[in-house]
């Protein structure tokens, strides 16, 4: 796998992670680098520390698959920095068509993950239902809201990174539920180093812990874990459904109304509740486009979930 190929996969992950409801972990999975990514993260361990203390920097670099991580992180960072303003503007000015595109992405990603479960037994089907239920509960819940300050930023990073690495769970959406999405997006667009460094520290800490838990689950109960992850992804479709009715609002610190709880509705109901044009034709085209894009990526990069 070339450095350019890894960089482009990182760019896809970064684009996905900045969007509430879309998972960078899903992009890593369908582009064939998921196992390699988990392995690289798990190698940030005591063996690495011993190599560094011994001055064996080349061996340490190879131990963590440094060339792979450097290309991947560069792709993620450049993608997030370049797309943050555009995504923020689209979410503000054209949310319905944008969510329609995301819906197509997630629907196709769900089907990709379903194919990774070799045989659907009762237990695996049960895990699928549980995952779907958990995701729906999260999706339809009101925003929790985190305490402000750098402590809240650190904890948000710790929790959100666990979601970002999972196929089917959106770290950005977790930030939305925690009431921290706007804060982190603003930090990215304004390049607020203090907030970004603290968030990165929280994310790094969470990544070290959660990658090991996920590796353990995938090693001992791969099919059931994949069924659970597929359920997460299936339930998250409620998050990215384009037409929603707002059930509850709050006034944010800028004095503006902010939706804190929404439920999916039909285009006709959306028109009734909001008075806005549902743009059904455009949304349908964008759903199909998003769906086709995921299938193109999956077919272009070969075997899903392996190094490819």
- Rounded to whole angstroms, the Cα distance separating 307 from 241 reads 32
Give residue 260's pLDDT.
Answer: 60
Give 148 or 235, the one with higher predicted confidence.
Answer: 235
Domain assignment present for residue 307? The answer is: no
Give residue 254's pLDDT.
Answer: 55
Give residue 143's pLDDT.
Answer: 60
Domain assignment present for residue 306? The answer is: no
Domain assignment present for residue 100? The answer is: yes
DSSP character for 143?
Answer: P
Give residue 250's pLDDT.
Answer: 56
Domain assignment present for residue 308? The answer is: no
135 pLDDT tier (thresholds 50, 70, 90): confident
What are the two backbone dihedrals, phi and then psi, of residue 260, each rounded to the nearest 5 degrees? -120, -10
Q: How crowded is residue 27: how many other Cβ atoms within 10 Å of its Cβ? A: 26
**Is 23 exposed, middle or buried, given 0-12, 13-18 or 19+ CB atoms closer than 10 A?**
buried
Domain assignment present for residue 305? The answer is: no
Give 192 or 84, the one with higher predicted confidence.
Answer: 192
Give 71 or 145, the one with higher predicted confidence.
Answer: 71
308 pLDDT tier (thresholds 50, 70, 90): very low
- Mean pLDDT over each residue of the chain, to the nearest integer: 82
- Rounded to whole angstroms, the Cα distance separating 163 from 202 reads 13
Residue pLDDT, tens place only, 115-129: 878 889 999 999 999
**Domain span including residue 158:** 3-300
Percentage of residues of the chain with pLDDT beyond 90: 26
Out of 42-46, 136-140, 267-271, which region has the weakest mean confidence (pLDDT)? Answer: 136-140
Q: Report yes or no: 122 and 39 within 8 Å, Cβ to Cβ.
A: no
Structure tokens at 31: 């582009």
- Rounded to whole angstroms, the Cα distance separating 1 from 23 reads 22
Give residue 62's pLDDT.
Answer: 94
Give 100 or 300, the one with higher predicted confidence.
Answer: 100
pTM above threshold 0.75: no
Domain count of the chain?
1
Between the CA of residue 42 and those of 24, 39, 111, 194, 232, what are the distances in Å?
18, 5, 28, 27, 23
161 pLDDT tier (thresholds 50, 70, 90): confident
306 pLDDT tier (thresholds 50, 70, 90): very low
Domain assignment present for residue 132? The answer is: yes
Domain assignment present for residue 64? The answer is: yes
Domain assignment present for residue 20? The answer is: yes
Highest mean pLDDT: which of 22-26, 136-140, 153-157, 252-256?
Answer: 153-157
């Amino acid at each position: 796998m070339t450095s350019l190929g890894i960089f482009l996969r990182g760019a896809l992950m970064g684009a996905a992670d900045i969007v509430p409801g879309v998972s960078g972990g899903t992009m890593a999975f369908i582009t064939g680098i998921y196992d390699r990514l988990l392995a690289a993260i798990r190698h940030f361990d005591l063996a690495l520390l011993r190599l560094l203390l011994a001055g064996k920097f080349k061996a340490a670099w190879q131990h963590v698959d440094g060339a792979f991580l450097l290309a991947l992180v560069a792709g993620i960072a450049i993608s997030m920095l370049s797309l943050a303003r555009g995504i923020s503007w689209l979410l503000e000015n054209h949310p319905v068509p944008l969510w329609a595109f995301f819906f197509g992405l997630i629907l196709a990603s769900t089907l990709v993950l379903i194919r990774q479960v070799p045989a659907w037994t009762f237990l695996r089907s049960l895990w699928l239902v549980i995952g779907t239920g958990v995701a729906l509960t999260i999706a339809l819940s009101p925003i929790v809201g985190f305490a402000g300050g750098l402590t809240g930023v650190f904890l948000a990073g710790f929790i959100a990174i666990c979601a970002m690495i999972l196929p089917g769970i959106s770290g950005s959406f977790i930030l939305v539920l925690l009431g921290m999405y706007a804060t982190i997006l603003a930090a990215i667009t304004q390049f607020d180093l203090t907030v970004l460094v603290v968030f990165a520290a929280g994310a790094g800490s969470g990544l070290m812990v959660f990658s090991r838990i996920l590796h353990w689950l995938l090693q001992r109960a791969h099919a059931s874990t994949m069924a659970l992850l597929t359920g997460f992804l299936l339930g998250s479709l409620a998050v990215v459904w384009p037409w929603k009715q707002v059930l509850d609002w709050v006034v944010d610190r800028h004095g503006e109304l902010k939706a804190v709880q929404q439920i999916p509705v039909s285009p006709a109901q959306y028109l009734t509740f909001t008075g806005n044009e549902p743009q059904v034709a455009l949304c349908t085209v964008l759903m199909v486009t998003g769906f086709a894009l995921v299938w193109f990526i999956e077919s272009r990069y070969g075997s899903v979930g392996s190094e490819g």
